[in-house]
Amino acid sequence: MPDAGKRNHDSERGKGIKMRFSQDGNALVCRRQGELLRIEPWGRDALRIRATMYPDFTGEEWALTERPEPVSAEIVFSEEMLREGDGTTRAYPLATITNGRIRATVNHGGVLTLYRDDWMILREHFRNYSGSITKESHCLKVVNREWTPYTGGDYRLTVRFEPNDGEKLYGMGQYQQPYMDLKGCTLELAQKNSQTTVPFLISSLGYGMLWNNPAVGEVSFSKNLTQWTAACCRDMDYWVAVAEDPKELLYRYTAVTGRAPMMPEEMMGFWQCKLRYRTQEEVLQVARRYQELGIKLDVIIIDFFHWTLQGDWKFDSRYWPDPRAMVEELHRMGIRVLVSVWPSVDRRSENFEEMVDRGLLMRTERGAMQTYDYQGDCVEIDPFNPETREYVWEKCREHYYALGIDGFWLDNSEPDLTKYDFDNFRYYAGPALRCSNIYPQMYSRTFDDPMRALGVQPVNLLRSGWAGSQKYGNVLWSGDVPSTWESMRDQLQAGLNMGLAGIPWWNTDIGGFMEGNVFDPDFRELLVRWYEWAVFQPVMRLHGDREPFTIPPLDERTMGGGYLHTGQDNEMWSYGEEIYAIMRDHYELRQKMRPYIRRIYEEAHTSGSPLMRAMFYEFPEDPICWDLADQYMFGPDYLVAPVMTAGARERPVYLPVGTWRDIRTGMVLSGGDYFQADAPIESIPVFERVRE
């Protein structure tokens, strides 16, 4: 920056030098006790706030990959009068930066306070004499930004904020719990099967906050303290924006992190898969049967162990003798084909030795070089290394994409680990503790980047993601969840919070993934209710590992796809005529809604709005909607009330003020209150918003 853009403001008032303020172009810079703090505008009504104990920042953008619209900040240096212990008052320096409706102040002790207009929304928690906002806690010595050094480099970082009574918090990705409002929750910041950390939250106080740090850690939204922890990092980095409503916050957040591309028209309908189609003939038989029934499959997915060994990334020719011909036949039916690709490489794989020699795999800090042990002694790939991404794509291009395969099911993308001992793993980008939460995004880029270079819009299915994953054509699903009513209820909270965290393409395994016995009447009822709900999910995908496991393996004497088990049949017709009739009816409903679904996919692409929307997203002025967690809006016009309790044949539904039409009966109702809606096994309550 030219010298004209720099201003300094030093203070020696009080007991020694407290804070050195300066202006660097459009940014407020503060230095104190070896820490560098930088606050700058980052899009409209938004600030990016960084700090480090190093001489300068790493330069990592992490989720903030999009260039924000240029804005100018107002920076003011002033003083505040504080009462001393002897009863006198004294002037202390204060710096303020304002960008539209958001304002931040930094006091003489480095304590940061953020305002939306004139309302305080965030204040760092500090309980020590030298920097406390108030003077009552002289002895606790709890600091707002605590850097705990590791011997040899890097820090464990803890950032503390004062809690806001009555505040509600949403987003943060997907956690297996029954709470949509996260106030009072403690969340692990780590990727695991069925747990997806996307560290962006929306507050009922009118702000959104991105913790722009992929380190393993934890956040606690306690009653007495909000505390973020990064187990290993070099920079503190977070972004805060304010807006009039949640819809505007998502718009601003996705403006700086990226928006989902437009979902291809031919993938907005019904997806079919199971664990697992073992041969190409099984796949073709299923597709042909759907065609005979007049049911248009948009996508069919070939699950794991169609390969020889993990890390070979190719079909087992014993069971898939001509995959090109299989794909061509499926394409003639108008069906797109996805295949499962895992990031694990078996020691017996034909690619293992070369990948080890070239440094393309994860490294362990201690003990044997093993990170995964399902069906083999395996090590996961290191997608932080650009050579790894190039190598894996080239294998998949040769053995899948060149045969006509349309996309990839990037399973185990957290990655799944034998044990989540993150301190024992290291990547090209550094220790896993410092960066592993962005692993699934880097894994997806192994396929997204080269497919885009070929002029193809990728749509890949992943089990995990991170902030900004929406821009890489990622369809996230909720992982290997159990087939229980409790789990189904958890998935609704997961889907709504995932959307509020900026990930609009989301779905679940219809019926749950595991522990579903096809002969159990309770499971069959659960499956039907889950299927009815899935009509109103961004992606409608039938999948699961169905019990009992009584189907013998094709060849238990060999490796590859022949020896591994498969679950029971899991197609629409697999559960009897009564269930098939319900599924067929709801399939037709999904097909009828395709123009509307196309419209809300376009909204996600252009504005960042999710397809599944918490009630308050569409009705922020209604206080009841901020507490509703068992119903939601599918886009702006359809209110969906899933049935998530065994045996239920009615349920309460809240209709906000306005006019609503029951899509099943055509009955028109006036909103503004609860009412008891019928919920026969054949359907769930869904109401269309009638606009003037």
Which sequence positions are flagged as catalytic? 411, 414, 480
Classified as helix, coil or strand, 624 is helix
DSSP 263: P
Nearest to 78 by CA among 179, 9, 152: 9
In whole angstroms, give the CA distance from residue 114 to residue 121: 6
Give the H/E segment covering residue 21: strand 20-24
The neighbour count for residue 676, using CB atoms within 10 Å, is: 10
Structure tokens at 268: 């907005």
Nearest to 47 by CA among 208, 212, 209, 239: 239
Rama region for 532: left / alpha / beta (φ>0; ψ in -120 to 50; rest): alpha
DSSP 192: B
Query: Using CB atoms within 10 A of its CB, is residue 366 exposed (0-12), middle (13-18) or buried (19+)?
Result: exposed
Q: In this structure, are residues 661 and 688 in contact, taking their beta carbons and an 8 Å threshold?
A: yes
Q: In this structure, are residues 309 and 348 in contact, taking their beta carbons and an 8 Å threshold?
A: yes
Q: Is the dihedral of CA 418, 422, 426, 428 positive or negative?
A: positive
DSSP 543: -
End-to-end, the C-alpha distance of the chain in Å comes to 54
Q: How far is CA 457 from CA 243, 267, 545, 557, 650, in A?
A: 32, 12, 30, 41, 42
The neighbour count for residue 149, using CB atoms within 10 Å, is: 10
Q: Where are the alpha helices (DSSP H) in 359-455?
A: 386-399, 432-435, 439-453
